[in-house]
Structure 1
């Protein structure tokens, strides 16, 4: 079979440095210490794919240089390159960044339509919008998750899962479904405002437990339940002195508000509790900020991303493998409404197999003021 592969080489750079996306802020991301993450995640995809004998039947059609060609040259897969233009580089703070734009993704996708059986792209929600704008419903698409948000229902749960979906598609065992492509206004997102909309639908090869759904809102009927959980957990936090890394989401924001701190809705905040008083040490922390407090035995409080089932790996990349490696599993507090746990196990993906394995198994999830549930993490 022929499969398309398009890489957005700057996707995901804003995640660990608390920019909540990369659109229009590549320079700022690099100044904060960001480095490209998409190439390494595509390497994980191709490495997993190479373990299957059926992979010998796959020929890739890809973009020039950093948009696919450079990574494929590291592996044994046959491939052809669509050289729609020469990709140049610019240097920012000593980091080489390719001058790729959404137009590059769109042009490559249009060229691939009619020439491949499945188009695989590496990026986030913005990249998925560019792809469906170009191919519409003409062929199935599958996202390798390398962005920050990834609320759309077109992504595999991980790069390795994307490889498994491709193999099942090749075997004729993946069902084709229409899935929503969603995105949010990143500028508003950085101001803690969620302005999400659906941009269209895509045909997606789906294998159960390997492809995510789209993010959902918490039903209004659960508002009182969320308030009760936040009130109980806030009291517990104030009873224990120490450092807390408070994650993103509306449930955790209610805890921040009850603690009396000006925390972010969509970022990670560092808080010190002493004598029943909470002080905000770092608002909208980066990975580097979190690393500075690891010697003080911090605790993490996170919630589940509605509809996606992720604890770590979607929208909170500040909790990187370097951070999570140093924090015991028992010092990670998970809070969620019961409806968020109805769609199967929870998920983690840091890109580090040892760290992911540490977090897998079962975790206690606070589902009520005084109620916990054991939930499987995969």
Structure 2
């Protein structure tokens, strides 16, 4: 904080972040046109509005002044609110239209340029995007100022993201009050081309300064512990033998890939597969399904099997946006099976965020998590 009456907050929006999630592209870098062809629409501005709407409820924010990028980089959203703001016009931002969808013609270089210009003038830089945006922001500012991510991307494995846009607003208020301590959080990103080929190639870019309040900030991605691998194998084998005939939506991750292998199907590691079990035999109906594919089968009373993303503690909302609010709305909670290594639920809670309060509310409370062949643990969903 700068000790002045007015706190200057940087805001950068990556307008294409997250577009690849619901259409099973696992990211948006370099595939915007393909995402739109599959039916994707921009979501980053909508989620940034949720952040600003929540922030507007706090009386203390009268002293917030935003510094933002022009047009779709922040200005377009802030124009709809009463916060004072200045615009950094680093260049003329154009627009392009793809199959009737109009999006700002921006790149990661715009994020880097804006972040570098803001670094010496703001108390904290808030950005709306995913891991790629976090990487670009961190590259420009390093540890000169704190950064905080509004989660609008697909993966968001870095530890600099709030758990939701609304929590980002709450965390910013705590920071403005001086009640959020600054901690070092990992900035990570994956090779998205390799990710789409079911190859996980993470890269660590450094540790950023981020305001921290427990529950409001997510963790960073963690792998399953080596000493739990055999337990996971045994749990998956037991679960595979218990599945009844029907339609299943099998989620992403190494635990679910073990289940797919055990069922004898060529399922994806990092995508969602639609599987039918009939007379005890499994076959894939749709491999690497998008939201639209899942919606075609929701009337078939499907069962969902998912795992928890280690470190992030997310069940829905990170890396599996195919499970949208529209998909989950008609699926009873009792039709959702969660299987995870014990370390992934060690905090005693897991998260969901679909962007729909009614659907999230249905999922919250407690859910059974299969943690061994013979044991389930009741874990709170927040």
Match of 2:379 in 1: 375
Structure 1 residues 138-287: aligned runs within 5 Å: 138-237=144-243, 240-287=244-291
Match of 1:116 in 2: 122
Structure 2: 5+ residue runs without aligned partners?
Answer: 1-6
Count of aligned pairs = 376
**Pick from 273, 290, 294: which aligns with 1:290?**
294
Match of 2:352 in 1: 348
The separation in 2 between residues aligned to 1:355 and 1:278, in whole angstroms, is: 29
Match of 1:126 in 2: 132
Match of 1:299 in 2: 303
The separation in 1 between residues aligned to 2:83 and 2:335, in whole angstroms, is: 43
The separation in 2 between residues aligned to 1:197 and 1:114, in whole angstroms, is: 27
- SS of residue in 1 equivalent to 2:349: coil
Match of 1:56 in 2: 62
Structure 1: 5+ residue runs without aligned partners?
Answer: none
1:343 deviates by 2.4
The separation in 2 between residues aligned to 1:136 and 1:81, in whole angstroms, is: 22
1:78 deviates by 0.7
- SS of residue in 1 equivalent to 2:115: helix
Which stretches of structure 1, 4 residues or longer, exceed 6 Å deviation after superposition? none
* CA-based RMSD: 0.6
The separation in 1 between residues aligned to 2:148 and 2:303, in whole angstroms, is: 36
Greater shift after overlay, 79-88 or 315-324?
Answer: 79-88
**Pick from 292, 298, 308: which aligns with 2:312?**
308
1:277 deviates by 0.7
- SS of residue in 2 equivalent to 1:236: coil
**Pick from 327, 335, 338: which aligns with 2:331?**
327
The separation in 2 between residues aligned to 1:334 and 1:56, in whole angstroms, is: 43
Give TM-score, length-normalised by structure 2: 0.98
Judge conservation of contact 2:148–2:161 (CA < 8 Å) in 1.
Answer: yes
- SS of residue in 1 equivalent to 2:34: helix
